Amino acid sequence: MAVKFLSKQSWIDHYLINRREWGRQVFAGDVIEYKLTYCRRKTIGIYVSAEAGVEVRVPYFVARAEAERFVAEKQDWIRRKLTEFSSRPQKHEPVFAWGAPHFLLGESVRFHCDPEEPHDILLPGRLSDPEQRIGNQIQTWFRNEARQLFDERHQFWREQMADMNLPESFIEIRTMKRRWGSCRRNGKITLNLALMKYPLECIDAVIVHELCHLLEFNHSRRFYAHMTRAMPQWKKWDRMLVELAQRY
């Protein structure tokens, strides 16, 4: 039986994969701290987010001094991004308690089990229910309503786009971290349950986006031409969704 040896790159990956270091530089009195991550890539990249801060991703063969020079060259861009994130309003995190606010179609609503208490939506339950039980009740309500709403909007836009000769399609609902929706060649359109938090126009823009993928499984000029034909103001609602997603 032949022995399969690891390649040179495999050994590098074995020893260095996910290797992380921390860096700190001072520019004009401002301190920028960043995470240095060595990974399999060809160029140095800088990523800034509200959650993770500054991450510098570096190819294995690049010396730390070179990475630090790159950070110094990009200091103005990094500071602009950090300022942008710090100036954003704090994101609303839902609390699963009776009477706590939640977002539905862009509006703040309150769920409660007691009809005598202020509420917008009444659900079965008890005042003594634990957080997990209340959360399950609310999430089940959202999923049931999403099924009805998404199906109705899907059918509405298929009718609006009838002259585009769309292939058959159907809706599935999932909780997704990084996507609002997806489309497969078999016609399955998956929509993120979290869309229920946002205005109806934003939901429609995602549905139209996925329906257009039935015609073009890419983001080419032809794809966006289909988008504009079906929903001329799609860019407005797309921007709104991006902005609101930073808030709730």
Domain assignment present for residue 109? The answer is yes
- The verdict on 59 and 147 lying in the same domain is no
- Cα dihedral value 120, 124, 126, 132, nearest 10: -90
Instruction: Give the pLDDT score at 7.
Output: 61
How many structural domains are present in the chain?
A: 2
Instruction: Give the pLDDT score at 30.
Output: 72
Domain assignment present for residue 234? The answer is yes
* DSSP letter (8 states) at residue 164: G
- The verdict on 158 and 234 lying in the same domain is yes
Residues 173-221: tens digit of each pLDDT: 999 988 999 999 999 999 999 999 999 999 999 999 999 999 999 999 9
Instruction: Give the pLDDT score at 26.
Output: 61
Q: How many CA atoms lie within 13 A of 155 on its CB side?
A: 5
Positions in the chain short of pLDDT 70: 1-29, 51, 87-90
- The verdict on 217 and 110 lying in the same domain is yes
- The verdict on 34 and 139 lying in the same domain is no
Domain assignment present for residue 38? The answer is yes
Q: What domain range is 230 assigned to? A: 101-245
Nearest to 80 by CA among 130, 46, 108, 110: 46
Contact indicator for 111, 101 with CB cutoff of 8 Å: no
User: CATH number, domain at 150?
Assistant: 3.30.2010.10
Domain assignment present for residue 163? The answer is yes
- The verdict on 16 and 38 lying in the same domain is yes
Domain assignment present for residue 2? The answer is no
Burial of 179 (0-12, 13-18, 19+ CB in 10 A): exposed
Distance CA 199, CA 248 (A): 12
- The verdict on 161 and 210 lying in the same domain is yes
Write down which residue in 20, 55, 87 finishes a domain: 87
Write down which residue in 87, 115, 130 finishes a domain: 87
